[in-house]
Amino acid sequence: MPARLDRLPWSGFHWKVVIALGITWVLDGVEITVAGTIADRLRDQAMLGLSSSEVGLGASLYLLGEVAGALSFGRLTDKVGRRKLFLLTLGVYLIGNALTAFSMNFVFFAVTRFIAGTGIGGEYTAINSAIDELIPASYRGRTDLAINGTYWLGAMIGAGANFLFLNEAYFGADLGWRIALMIGPVIGILIWPLRRHLPESPRWLLTHGRAEEADRIVAEIERDVASKGVALEPVGDDHAIELSPRGTIPYREILAVVLRDYRRRSLVGFSLMATQAFLYNAIFFTYALILADFYGIPADKVPYFIFPFAVGNLLGPLLLGRYFDTIGRRIMVGSTYSLSAVLLFVTGWLFNEDALTATTQTILWCVIFFFASAAASSAYLTVSEIFPVEIRAQAIALFFALSVLAGGVIAPWLFATLIGDGSDRGRVFLGYAVGSSLMLIGGLLEFAWGVNAERQSLEAIATPLSVRAVIAGAESGLTGGLTAHVRRGLPPGERVSGQARRE
C-alpha cells in the first residue's frame, strides 16, 4: 500500500490535503505576525501597559505552549491517529486565540497565549505526519516546503489586515488589535469542514492492524485518479513489506530508536530545528520593536515593512522547493542554512555601523529570509521523514519541543531585552552574530551527516518498527545514508504472527 500511494500522480486529492492541512502554517503566520505588529501597542499605558520584557515573555509563553502541545498531542497522534488529532488541535488553537482578544491584563494575556500555543504545537505533529504519509515520494520535498512556506502567506494576511485594524482612523486603538487577533480563528472555522472529509493515513492504519480500512482508502484515491483518465500501473510484489502491527510503542523503545539507532539523524534534526527556531523567533517576534526603537516607525506603519518581508519568506520555499527533490536534500538544506548565516552576519554588522535605514534593513531581511525560509521549512521536512512511521509524530514532537526550548522560548525575551530602550546597537548585533553562528553550524552538520531522502519512500528511508522483528536497520556512511538492511534472527521466544500481513 505505501508503494501504491507513492506511485500516484498529483491529483485533486493531494490538493485537498495541502489546502485543508496546510492551513496550520497560515494560522501560525497570522498569529505571530499580529502578535509581533501589535507589540508596540501592547506597551501603551492606555492599552495593557506591558513592558518590552513582558511582550517578549508573552511570545515565549506562546512558544512554551507549543512545546507542551507538541509533546502531549504528539503521543496521541501516534496512538489514536492523525485525523482525530488534526481536528482536536485546531479546536484548541481556535479557543485559545479567540480568548486572547479579550485580555485585560498581562496574566490573562499570557495564559491565553499559552493555550493557543498548545494547539499550534499539536497541529505541527499531527499535520506533518499526515502530509508526509499521504503525499507521493517524488513530490514530498517540494510539497512540504511549500506548505511550511505558507506560514508567510499567513504573515502577509496578518500584515495586510493590520493596515486596517491598526489604523486609528477606522478602529479605536484598544479595539483594533483585539479584532486583529480574531483573524486566525475565523480562517480556522472556515477550513474545519474540509478537514472533516480527509481520511486517516493508510500508513498509520497498517501499523495498527487496520489493513482493510487502509486498503479501502487507497483504493478510493486510486479510483478518483483513474476517473480523470490516468492509467495507474500495478504495483509488483517486489514493493511489498511485511508488517506485524504492534500498537503503541513504549517510551523506552522510542528513546532507543532516536538516540541509538538514528543518533546521527537525531543530531542533525535537532541542530536544524533549534537553529532556525532561534533565528526566526528572535527576529520576527521583535521586528516591530526594532522598527519602533531604532528607526522611529509608529505601530500603524509597521505592516508596510512586515508585508515585503513576508513576501520574501513565502517565495523562498515556493521557488527553491523543487530543487530539494532534484538536486537533493543534503546539498540544498546545507546550502540554504549556510548562505542564510553569512547574509545575516553581514546585515547585523551593517546595522551595528548604523549604515541602514528602515527600508534598506527590510530589503536585506527579504534577501536573507528568502533562503532562510526554505532552510527552516526543510528542517520540518527532515525530522518528519527520517524516522519510522510508528513514532513519526512523537519524533516530530520531540525535536520540535527541544528546538523551541533550546532555540525558541528564550529568543524573543533575549532579543527584546537586548533591544531595551533602543540605545545600544552593539548588543543587538551580538544577538544577530549568535543567530548567524548557529545557522552555520546547522548547515555544516547537514552537509556532513544529512540523509539523501529525495524521491525515496518513507519505508526506504526508515524501516518501520513493525518489521524490525525480521529486519534490522542501521545507518550507513558518514552522510547518514539510507537505511541499510540486514537479516537477523528473532529474539528468543518471539515469532512473527500468522496474522502478519504483506501489504
Contact between 417 and 56 (Cβ < 8 Å): yes
Q: Quick one: pLDDT at residue 69? A: 92
pTM exceeding the 0.85 threshold for the entire prediction: no
What percent of the chain has a predicted confidence (pLDDT) above 90? 32
SS3 243: strand
* Nearest Cα to Cα of residue 468 among 253, 239, 269: 253
Q: Quick one: pLDDT at residue 487? A: 33
What mean pLDDT is predicted for residues 44-66?
78
Q: Quick one: pLDDT at residue 494? A: 38
43 confidence band (pLDDT: 50, 70, 90): confident
Distance CA 94, CA 117 (A): 10
Contact between 90 and 63 (Cβ < 8 Å): no
Residues 76-90: tens digit of each pLDDT: 999 989 998 988 998
Distance CA 30, CA 19 (A): 16
Integer-rounded Cα radius of gyration of the chain: 23
The DSSP symbol for 89 reads H
427 confidence band (pLDDT: 50, 70, 90): confident
114 confidence band (pLDDT: 50, 70, 90): very high
Distance CA 130, CA 151 (A): 18
Contact between 86 and 197 (Cβ < 8 Å): no
The residues with which 420 forms a beta bridge, in sequence order, are: none
pLDDT over threshold 90, residue 268? yes
pLDDT over threshold 60, residue 468? no
